[in-house]
Amino acid sequence: MKKYTNVSVQPDDFENQRVLVIGKGNSAFETADNLIDTAATIHVCSPNPISMAWKTKYVGHLRAVNNNFLDTYQLKSQNLILNAHINNIKQNEHGKFIVNVSYTHANGEVEDLEYDRIIACTGFRFDDSIFDNSCKPNLTINNRFPDQTSAWESTNVKDLFFAGILMHMRDFKENQSGFIHGFRYNIKALHQIFERRFHHKAWQHQNLELIPQTFTDVILKRVNQSSALWQQTGFLCDVIFVSEDQQQGKYYQEVPQDYLFDSDLGKHNHYYTITLEFGHEYLDAFPDPFAIERVHKDDIHNAEQSPSLHPIIRRYYQGKLVAEHHIIEDIASEWKEEVHIQPLLKFMTEQLNDSQGIGTHLLAAGLLTSEQLEVALAEQELETSARLGDVIQKRGWVQKRTIQFLLHQVNNTLVDNPELSACAQLGANLVEAGLVTSTQVDEALLEQQISNKRLGEILVNHGWVTPQTVEYMMKHLSQANVTVQPEVAVLN
Ligand SMILES: Cc1cc2nc3c(=O)[nH]c(=O)nc-3n(C[C@H](O)[C@H](O)[C@H](O)COP(=O)(O)OP(=O)(O)OC[C@H]3O[C@@H](n4cnc5c(N)ncnc54)[C@H](O)[C@@H]3O)c2cc1C
């Protein structure tokens, strides 16, 4: 019995022989294809059916270049593809291999099959023999790969990193890290990870003004040009980190998404990711990959139903995905037309104005009614460049100072000074937001010494703020300050 790595590649060596090829990947079919003209019959066998790369979009599955063999099975009945477990292999007195198999699709039928030659094309396995027990990395995926973190570091041996095909552990059978055309971009990312970790240098980035048009231009340029996002679909992403004052952005290129979420980078309060992704959900819904229902090229409202590779922009806020925009697929995979530009510009305008954000905060704080919000959003829609906060303020519903406080302070949590008690912070924040005066807080604090009531309760009793506003402030306070118990946070 031979392996893919040491079997003869001369077809004449197999003349008139019955050959069993074990495995159903590219190496198995490349081997089988090579023997079609000379072997008497060829069986390709493994427990699972073939996965076709042109259906799954994974290049490690069977590629068209290796699948001539399929015709010799389906059309000529010369050869066979078996879905079966191999129970055991024996050699008889004539030197023939007797292979006992259990079929996957025939009610567990068991049969003995006879072959002259067997070739194992069962894939590669990581050889860990060079590692002493003191630094032997844990293995995973049937011991094929060393187990790795999202920074491609061994999960059990610190400072031991893996590059090249071994990086595929992180996206096994999903993306292209098992191939040079994929892992070459991972290695660039690994270099940046090393720069951060060992030289304390920031990931290379570009500074951006947070202006919707700038955002739109930069994103479209990247999705039209980046080969890393193109090859490592949904695995590598560009990231825009938004500064605390919401005025600046830092544009990072080609960050592994898992690393973003696992590392300190993902602790940023506010960021956007940009990826190129297939619509697998829509692709998988159609059994025939060549008869997939497509969205009309102008149907921008259903862009998320694009089955082909298309850009996706996601906005994360305080660790949560809060908005997602799909740029509709394009026949030439170029996103340069108005149907690509205008919806993205609108999305970025809405997001950067934080329209829903400030509206939701004002509603939650009891400072705006839902009817008022509806009117303000409608008014903003007519004048897209207007910020929602400005519309609300111009109508006299909430003062500018309060809106600014909520946008700039709440978004970055309310606690400025961890030395202050929750009670003092509540008073300071309400004054800062222009919701009460410092005289009122002083008065309430004096009253608190006598009555022993909570500060929020006293302010509410006076009618200076609503219980909802106090609760809202305390909720954000308690999220940021773990020492404040939720029940204390209701009315301090
Ligand atoms: C048939 C085939 C076709 C392919 N086609 C493509 C393709 O079209 N496009 C693509 O992108 N990828 C393709 N690939 C995948 C690609 O070849 C591999 O992903 C790539 O070669 C892996 O590179 P690597 O440097 O990580 O590992 P390897 O190329 O396997 O290199 C590892 C090296 O380490 C050496 N080594 C191992 N153990 C030790 C040790 N103890 N001490 C010292 N040295 C050691 C080995 O001898 C070897 O030289 C193909 C693979 C195969 C098998």
In a domain, 400, yes or no: yes
In a domain, 155, yes or no: yes
199, 226, 248 - which closes a domain: 199
In a domain, 13, yes or no: yes
Which atom, in ligand 1's list, is nearest to the CA of 163? 26
Q: What is the pLDDT of residue 245?
A: 66
Answer yes or no: do 139 and 93 share one domain: no
Tell me which of 179, 181, 186, 230 to substitute to probe ligand 1's pocket, judged by most ligand atoms within 8 Å of the beta carbon.
179
**Which residues make Cβ contacts (< 8 Å) with residue 276, sequence separation at least 6?**
223, 226, 229, 230, 233, 234, 309, 310, 311, 312
Per-residue model confidence as pLDDT tens digits over 380-391: 767 656 778 888
Among residues 152, 156, 149, 150, which one has the least CA distance to residue 135? 156
In a domain, 401, yes or no: yes
Dist. CA 118–CA 214, nearest whole Å: 61
In a domain, 126, yes or no: no
Answer yes or no: do 334 and 226 share one domain: yes
Answer yes or no: do 339 and 361 share one domain: no
- Using left for φ > 0, alpha for ψ between -120 and 50, and beta otherwise, residue 108 falls in left
In a domain, 127, yes or no: no
In a domain, 49, yes or no: yes
126 lines ligand 1 (CB under 6 A): no
Q: CA angle, corner 144, sides to 138 and 149, nearest 5?
A: 45
Dist. CA 179–CA 172, nearest whole Å: 11
Q: Which helix (H) or strand (E) holds 360?
A: helix 355-364
**Structural contact between residues 80 and 73, judged by C-beta atoms closer than 8 angstroms:** yes
Q: What is the pLDDT of residue 421?
A: 74
- Tell me, in angstroms, the distance from the centre of ligand 1 to residue 165's CA: 7
Q: What is the pLDDT of residue 481?
A: 42
Q: What is the pLDDT of residue 305?
A: 93
Can you give the residue range of the structural domain that contains 450? 413-489
Tell me whether residue 265 is exposed, middle or buried, using C-beta atoms within 10 angstroms of its C-beta: 0 to 12, 13 to 18, 19 or more: middle
164 lines ligand 1 (CB under 6 A): yes
Q: What is the pLDDT of residue 372?
A: 86
- Tell me, in angstroms, the distance from the centre of ligand 1 to residue 164's CA: 8
Answer yes or no: do 291 and 360 share one domain: no
Answer yes or no: do 23 and 67 share one domain: yes
Answer yes or no: do 57 and 100 share one domain: yes
Answer yes or no: do 144 and 215 share one domain: no
Nearest protein Cα to ligand 1, atom 43:
130
292 lines ligand 1 (CB under 6 A): no
What does the block give as tokens for 152?
Answer: 């491609």
Q: Are strands 41-46 and 18-22 parallel, antiparallel or unpaired?
A: parallel
CB atoms within 10 A of CB 212: 19
Answer yes or no: do 304 and 323 share one domain: yes
Answer yes or no: do 7 and 110 share one domain: yes
Q: What is the pLDDT of residue 101?
A: 97
Q: What is the pLDDT of residue 420?
A: 62
> What's the pTM value of the predicted model, to 2 decimals?
0.75
Answer yes or no: do 262 and 143 share one domain: no
In tens digits, what is the pLDDT along the chain, a chain of 492 residues? Answer: 899 999 999 999 999 999 999 999 999 999 999 999 999 999 999 999 999 999 999 999 999 999 999 999 999 888 999 999 999 999 999 999 999 999 998 888 999 999 999 999 999 899 999 999 999 999 999 999 999 999 999 999 999 999 999 999 999 999 999 999 999 999 999 999 999 999 999 999 999 988 899 999 999 999 999 999 999 999 999 999 998 767 789 999 999 999 999 999 999 988 999 999 999 888 888 889 899 988 998 999 999 999 999 999 999 877 888 789 999 999 999 999 999 999 999 999 878 766 446 877 888 788 998 788 878 877 876 765 677 888 899 999 999 889 888 876 655 544 444 556 778 888 988 998 999 999 999 999 999 888 888 999 999 999 999 999 998 888 776 544 433 333 222 232
Q: What is the pLDDT of residue 243?
A: 83
- Tell me, in angstroms, the distance from the centre of ligand 1 to residue 401's CA: 61
Torsion 337-338-342-345 (CA) sign: positive
Nearest protein Cα to ligand 1, atom 22:
165
130 lines ligand 1 (CB under 6 A): yes
CA distances from 459 to 242, 428, 455, 476 (A): 35, 13, 6, 18
Strand partners for 98: 90, 114
- Tell me, in angstroms, the distance from the centre of ligand 1 to residue 179's CA: 9
What does the block give as tokens for 12?
Answer: 């004449």
Q: What is the pLDDT of residue 93?
A: 96
**Structural contact between residues 144 and 163, judged by C-beta atoms closer than 8 angstroms:** no
Dist. CA 353–CA 212, nearest whole Å: 9
Tell me whether residue 323 is exposed, middle or buried, using C-beta atoms within 10 angstroms of its C-beta: 0 to 12, 13 to 18, 19 or more: middle
CB atoms within 10 A of CB 97: 17
370, 386, 408 - which closes a domain: 408
3-state DSSP assignment of residue 171: helix
Answer yes or no: do 16 and 105 share one domain: yes
Q: Which helix (H) or strand (E) holds 85?
A: strand 80-91
Strand partners for 389: none
In a domain, 128, yes or no: no
Tally of domains in the chain: 5
CATH number of the domain where residue 104 is located: 3.50.50.60
Q: Which helix (H) or strand (E) holds 3?
A: strand 2-3
**Which residues make Cβ contacts (< 8 Å) with residue 183, sequence separation at least 6?**
163, 164, 165, 167, 168, 176, 177
**Structural contact between residues 308 and 350, judged by C-beta atoms closer than 8 angstroms:** no
Answer yes or no: do 218 and 328 share one domain: yes
3-state DSSP assignment of residue 79: coil
